[in-house]
Structure 1
Amino acid sequence: MPANKYALIRYHVIDRMIRNPYRRFPSLEEMVDECSEVLGKPVSRSSIEKDLYAMKNDGGLNYSAPIRFDKHHGGYYYEDEGYSINKIPLSEDEIDAVQFAANLLNQFTEVPILKKYDAAVSKIMSQLNVARYKDLPVDRIIQFESHPTIGGNEFLSDLIYAIGHSLHIEFTYRSFAIGAQEKRRVASPYLLKEYKSRWYLIAQEEKQYMYKIFGLERISELQVKEEKFTPKKDFSPDAYFKYSIGITADQSAEPQKVVFECNEILSKYLTSQPIHSSQRIKSGKDKTLVELKVIITYELIEMLLGFGEDVKVLQPVSLRNDLIDKLNRTLQQYHGE
């Protein structure tokens, strides 16, 4: 029977207490107190008794823990002194899952907050003692998309701390806009979002109502201040990006119905991986229509242009005309050579 997350935490607390060489033979009461303290809420005696039974007998857990009770000391111990639930061998599927996660994590080794997990994953992998593919490099089996390191990732740890503790931040920001100057800003951070291997910060600047999006690679001299702020209850990440494709979220823009034709091959790709939660596909005899309810953003335009001759935008007319204008100017660049 699968265990809930609180039971799993209790199992590990019990395992740690039984293996503690400096305080052997923990009693049932001591386990109750320790689990209550770790979970931050009362744990009953009967729960610990059930946990001990499950660790010994639950086939779903597959611990088969050799737990015994010592009447002389009034506490519990492992009959096998080297036993630990952390040493349980994983199944082939579980090993594959860990290897997959380890290789995914390797794509972010330059991110300071994730570096500490590199050693942890290596330690896990060494304990797995996987010999199935020892003569075949992992990158011969599976390869992940990789990108050159982008600046700003070094601020992730501080920003996560500031968001988690509702602390103001101060930083220098340089916009990509032509003629824009570096500016010192004070803001309340709300969310970190990753898009196309770049990290963005959603924050509310001091004395401003609207939320803004800042690219981390354009941030410098970040400082987490001691002053706390009260997070606004109206901010919801899902609601903020509900009608967005990409990272742009214009709060003042109304979502529009976007309709475009596409060929059969592209429609299959879009069916297998929708570009937005509002996507609806209507297949006809001669053509396929795709409908979206989104705000018109740079990322949407970039995507539609990227589809090239495989799509034809029908509405809104303003978007259609904008795309025609951009395509004409693109052609002029080549015809002018």
Structure 2
Amino acid sequence: MSSTIKRGVSLYSYQNETFQGKMSLEDCLRTSAELGAHGIEVIGEQTFWGWPECGAMQEDIDNWHRLIAKYNCVPVCHDFMLDYKRYKGREMPFAEQVASVKNDIDFGARLGVKFIRALVSIDPAVLVAAADYAQEKGIKILIEVHAPLHFDHPWIIRHAEAFEKSGSDALGFLPDMGMFLFKFPPVWKEKFLRIGVPKAIADYVEKAYEDRVLSEYVILNVQEMGGTGPAVAMAETLRHNAAFEPKRMLDYMPRIHNIHGKFYQMDEDYVEPSIPYDQIVKVLKQGGYQGYICSEYEGNRWIEDAQEPDSVEQVRRQQVMLARLLGESVEPSLNTTVAA
């Protein structure tokens, strides 16, 4: 039985090919559409020259809409990057933060998206202050729940409380599936081995992660094993990642409107070895989620020292996995457009 959950792609997945000039915006949209992943999430800085410092040229916006229509795609989300503590050597005052968010709301409206993604570091008061403006523009602001944070983290609870107190429907959440990292990703381990981590230490860190050993103990043990530099860095990854429970999304489902389908690698059997997508999709179905799961490939940075990333193939494999989990009857493949 087919699900009401829809498939999409964050164009961030194609960052290597985009930055190297191997894929144009049209290539990205055509490829996604051929895979039946018609929902498109975009990062302004990656796709639109001059954004946000100089704004985006109208001809680029017009071209975006032309290509969206040509490939029967749906603009889903614009990921904005307000980092108020690193703004021109000073912390951005509250009023400027709100104005900056409103600028991204305007940009999202120009792109025709329904959602804009806020970095998890943004103070909830800033988003609450911009909520009415977002409502007027027909846009929801979604705070990204990203590892090492999770739905029981005090900072996320603070956002949830502020959103509920505001009474605004324009505020919500965008969970990143990287917070459900149940196993240490093989591509991470392989990278650390290449840069000099002894195999015995790499094996220990991998097993310690699977056994849910406290990160501070792992770091100490690695140092006592003689690990330095890269070995300690490998152990440090345990501080920033964890295997939180997908079922915790259920309590927040009314405010969850988009999903980052984070993945680090898809094997030839269409399995992400470190993130339990079967459990994740089951929870989303249980919660009645009807939005998009947008592929977000981030394994490229872990392999590009050893091989050329093939982001398109990786996205294809994840889309096949998602289609199977969602009960779709047609398996995604390139050069075969699936109806939206």
TM-score by length of 1: 0.24
Structure with bigger gyration radius = 1
